[in-house]
Structure 1
């Protein structure tokens, strides 16, 4: 298990909102069965994405993987009550988390601290591809002296 209900309430959804989203019976408490089922779903998603590159379950859980897991489960929790629209940040974070899982499975996002299938622990992200950007239009040399003309 990559995270617990406590991780959710400490980092993503406050207790009252979690009760509102999971308590269909009106008992006034978090329905832990529903939340734990969603946690298991997210665990399976993560294991599926990581299984080709890392030993699963990934342990210890890298902070970036915890963040991905929490973003996924938060969206799924809102899905329990489709009449309640999730905040835009929840939707955006979910989309990013799904993309990050794809990047992990493709080897384009390294999980620092995770144990690779080879048995080696990933210690740095230095072998990640460099970010490519277009050539800057407004360089120091091109901009030098432009204020003097006016």
Structure 2
């Protein structure tokens, strides 16, 4: 099952006739949900590869609208069998650019747990000794 987008998201983002034309190999006039899900799963794999660089648990980002849009654009291109129109190529290019920006930290996603990058040469020093400790309060 796809993580970031669903068939309903694809139907909301693209024309139904386009989805039927791209997925209906049987000639039923209906959208082939299995083909759409397969394309969305492949899109999820690409997204996870980029997002996991910054976020520990990618599954926490499942409801993120930006990632849903990216998944739809990647899956839509995946459904094309032959030459892709320019607008499809442009959407794919924009989606990949956004993923690169997420991976680089330029775009910050809401939710999820971002992985903090280690800072070189961090200064470590001990704190002050306790003023009121077990040993200092023995006489009271």
Q: Which protein is bigger by CA-based radius of gyration?
A: 2
Task: Report what 1:20 is aligned to.
Answer: 21
Q: Kindly provide the CA deviation profile for residues 2-56 of structure 1, in whole angstroms up to 9, marking residues without a partner as x.
A: 1100110112x22222111111221221111111111100111111111121121
Looking at structure 1, the residues matched to 22 and 82 of structure 2 have their Cα atoms a distance apart, in angstroms, of 9
Looking at structure 1, the residues matched to 62 and 82 of structure 2 have their Cα atoms a distance apart, in angstroms, of 34
Q: 1:58: Cα distance to partner? A: 3.8
Q: Which runs of 5+ in 1 are unaligned?
A: 119-150
Is residue 2:114 matched to residue 1:116?
yes
Q: 1:93: Cα distance to partner? A: 1.4
Q: 1:57: Cα distance to partner? A: 2.1
Distance 1:31 1:101, change over 3 A: same
TM-score (structure 1 length as normaliser): 0.67
Number of positions where the alignment pairs a residue of Structure 1 with one of Structure 2: 113
5 Å-filtered alignment, 1:85-104, equals 85-86=84-85, 88-104=86-102
Q: 1:90: Cα distance to partner? A: 2.2
Which consecutive segments of 4 or more residues in structure 1 shift more than 6 A? none
Is residue 2:68 matched to residue 1:66?
yes
Task: Report what 2:82 is aligned to.
Answer: 82
Q: Which runs of 5+ in 2 are unaligned?
A: 117-140
- Does the Cα contact within 8 Å between 1:60 and 1:114 map onto a contact in 2? no
Question: What is the alpha-carbon root mean square deviation over aligned residues?
Answer: 1.8
Q: 1:60: Cα distance to partner? A: 4.6
For residue 7 of structure 1, give the secondary structure of its aligned residue in structure 2.
helix
TM-score (structure 2 length as normaliser): 0.71
Looking at structure 1, the residues matched to 18 and 106 of structure 2 have their Cα atoms a distance apart, in angstroms, of 35
